[in-house]
Amino acid sequence: MIDPDAELERLRAQHLYRRRRVLDGPQGVRPVIDGRPMLSFCSNDYLGLASHPDLVSALAEGAARYGAGSGSAHLVTGHGEAHRRLEEQLADFTGRPRALLFSTGYMANLGVISALAGRGHHILADRLNHASLTDGVRLSGARLHRYPHADTARLRELCQGTDAALVVSDGVFSMDGDLAPVPELARAARAAGGLLMIDDAHGLGVLGATGRGTLEHFGLGAAEVPILVGTLGKAFGTFGAFVAGSEALIELLIQRARSYIYTTALPPAVAHATLAALAVAGREPWRREQLRHLVRRFRRGAAELGLRLADSHTPIQPLIAGDASRALDWSRQLEERGILVTAIRPPTVPRGSARLRITFSASHREDDVDLLLEALARLPQRDTQTAPATAAEVEAP
């Protein structure tokens, strides 16, 4: 049994202790944190919808119509009209026959994997997958085979030794911002007679010509990626998650996904607000265009300053510090200048790769990016473990 006092002391000594901050007011790029106005670059509110007036109004309207809570699980009396309409809209948005709402992305991944795989089955997973995917495998009891990050050659080798395996990967990796090689993953899964599951939590709403995510970016559909997981609390600004796929997949999840069956349904007012989020994201493509413009501006400025960024062209822009103490020091120095960028440390990222996880929102302005670059230029010991951004990289879409 772990001694809580000793374990907490160990975390503090290794610069791995975490503390919560208090947000006073709405989510946004200029929040009040612990009583102090800040310029934030660490939210996942990529499209700037979390405080959008249409969503706020829809949430209030939904509460007035449906009440504050759902009262029970979907399979009892908790599945309401707002849930039904949202599932239909999400199925249409992703181009799949059906979608199923979950209360969180974590629960969606646990539910899907444990419903589809068990003892005697094989699951092939990227080593840098989100913790919820890894925990889903552990809960299922299936045998986990991890391949090095984005190493499709190793994945193909593993596929040769397994039959009908489930291949699981993030679409956009949340701590690195890079994209999974989804076309190659799909080919490997198909060759092995297996299924590919993509968690596109950080791609949906952001990537692709119409915001349909990593699969749209690569020109892929349900034939290549039968199982698609998405979250609603990032680009879409609300809360919850969903799985989209075939009629048979969704029916099976309703029958077997324990994290769906045995939990209270998402508040219907939140589902009502998410319908408004999908509408705003669809009619305001400038939000995705603004994001891409800000990322290009930031990467150009970082290249000029000699800052070494990870190879990412998504709103997630990691600046690798290496050890946890340096990442914390960088974060503190930025905070002293009124800029909030969270230090990400193990076990969230591998040991030796602690970083500043810089994220952008469509609500940021060009002068916000310039202010961030000016502050980053003042950080000491900016040498990192990744190659600097090249001119070709910073111009990529």
Catalytic positions, please?
A: 174, 202, 234
Instruction: Sheet containing 354-359: give its strands across.
Output: 316-322, 354-359, 343-344
Is residue 159 within 8 A of residue 151, CB to CB? The reply is no
CA 248 to chain centre: 26
CA 48 to chain centre: 15
**How many other CB atoms are there within 10 angstroms of residue 32's CB atom?**
14
Q: How far is CA 98 from CA 2, 91, 153, 246, 394, in A?
A: 44, 5, 33, 6, 38
Alpha carbons 6 and 13: distance in angstroms, whole number: 11
DSSP H helices, the chain, are 4-13, 53-66, 81-94, 105-116, 131-140, 152-160, 182-191, 214-218, 247-256, 258-261, 268-283, 286-305, 324-336, 366-377, 391-394
